[in-house]
Structure 1
Amino acid sequence: MLTAGTKWLQELSAGARRPDTGARRATYATGGGFATGALAAGALAEWLPQPMVLPCLVHAVLALLVLGTTAAAPERAPTREAAPMKPPLTARHRTTFKNPRFMCVVLPAAPAVFGAATVAYVVLPPLVANRVPGYAPVFSGLVAALTLVTGIAVQPLATWLDHAHSARATLAAMVTVVGGLAVGACAVHWNSARLVLTAAVLLGAGYGLTLASGLMEMDRLTPAKARPSTAFLYQGATYSGFLTPLLLALAAGAAPYHHLLAGMAAVGLLCLLITARYSRRNLP
């Protein structure tokens, strides 16, 4: 659904003056949907009956309504004859992914995109639930919305920071993620709901900056005809960050969560140092 919606928005934005209008609208729509959905689900679970069933039921009903509404929508893209099947990775793709700049600048930051976001809204809220008695579901929804709205809001900053002869946007993003993880570790250690909100802002900013800076790096590394597919493959690499809550849960028996989060911050700092070392090398 995300891929189809993104493509549709890009088609609807084909006549816009700026070439990146479709991508920006898709990013804002996706982030806005994530944020409002999380906040709405938290409110439904907090104040209405059947908190484990009703949010999912409402989601299913909305999905059916969207299906019924869009089923009759006209096709925007021009009809083309069926093209012969091509291998998923062409020489252009392989050149991009073998580029040392991809390996040493883009890839180390990729898992931080959704790793930062999921730590903020999946891992942290339950660990301080006793600080918001009676309001844990809506607090979780608020943290998720705050994380994702911040991620949308900071993406123009990534464009401003971006520079073709350095990786300063990616470096700023990773510094923000490391700072957010450190604040999250302090929030868990001191059992502070306010610090969780602060960590959500920092991690949300890290999520937005890392995603935007990575896509801009990919644009420079990839020939124009291969950009759509390499962008999706890059986003596939970022989805590895969704495993972060699972990995933390598996490791929770070996160490307390604030130690695990501090360890993640240390790993992020190591990735930051690698990126900084190669930030001015292998420039496109």
Structure 2
Amino acid sequence: MAALNLVHLHTFTHVMAYGSFSAAAVHLGLTQPAVSLQIRQLEARLQVRLIERVGRRLAPTPAGTTLLEHTRRIDAVVDQALYDLASHADGVAGSVAIGTGATACIHLLPPMLQTLRQQYPALDVRVTTGHTDAMLRDVEHNRLDLALVTLPASGRSLVVTPLLEDPFVAIFAEDASLPARLTAANLAELPMVAFESGSGTRLLIDEWFTQAGVRLRPVMELGSIEAIKEMVAAGLGFSIVPAMAVHALHHRRGLQIQPLTPMLKRTLGLVLRQDKRLSKALQTVVEALRSLAR
């Protein structure tokens, strides 16, 4: 009999995690027909039906549930094998999957990734972006090796380590008139271009306004930090963004940047599974991230 295809097992766990072929395809970088084909081939190999539709989502059949349990153990064995083999390899090689928010991806990671590419050509670091909750689930299910997220963050099988602090600033168009003090009460009277609801960054900003007894009512909610800056520069409102997003000169053109009163800041944390074995490749990436804080 043909051996089990680990790629097909990986695809199956993604379909179950995201509840649809199309969502799994997006996260795997495949087409929906390719994902469907892999599942059909896996079912044909095992001669059982693995997936059924429950409402609008896909769910595992009893056989699929059993396979998911075995797949977690298979992943652990494969991780152990890669870890053991890494000690025999010359240099740093392998693949590391990182999850983070869009702001850190654009404004924090590129120089670090460039340095890693130059120093370790055989090291493949893959970065995906998303909300904190989704990335924590992906780390728990071993779809990501680590995540860099806005704290607080927690999980029963996770280790969360604070990494660095990043203050927030208010941004306005260059010709905008500003209040004398940028308090929550003063800013609440102005049109705001905000991060989309559900993100860790937005939750911190909402809490800052709530503590001042003010309810946030943005005129726009966007998922892209670059789109937010463009809207603000066009004079369509102000925004509150992490300072790293406007640190470089070319990232703050057309904008005024001002501190908030009182100060608001976020902490970025490093998230790993408790049982994650640090291969040479993963150790190198973790140390590179820690060096950002230093």
Q: Could you say whether these structures have the same fold, taking a TM-score greater than 0.5 normalized by the shorter chain as the test?
A: no
Of the two structures, which has the highest relative contact order with CA contacts closer than 8 Å and spacing of 6 or more?
1
TM-score by length of 2: 0.24
| Structure number having the greater helix percentage | 1
Q: Which has the larger radius of gyration?
A: 2
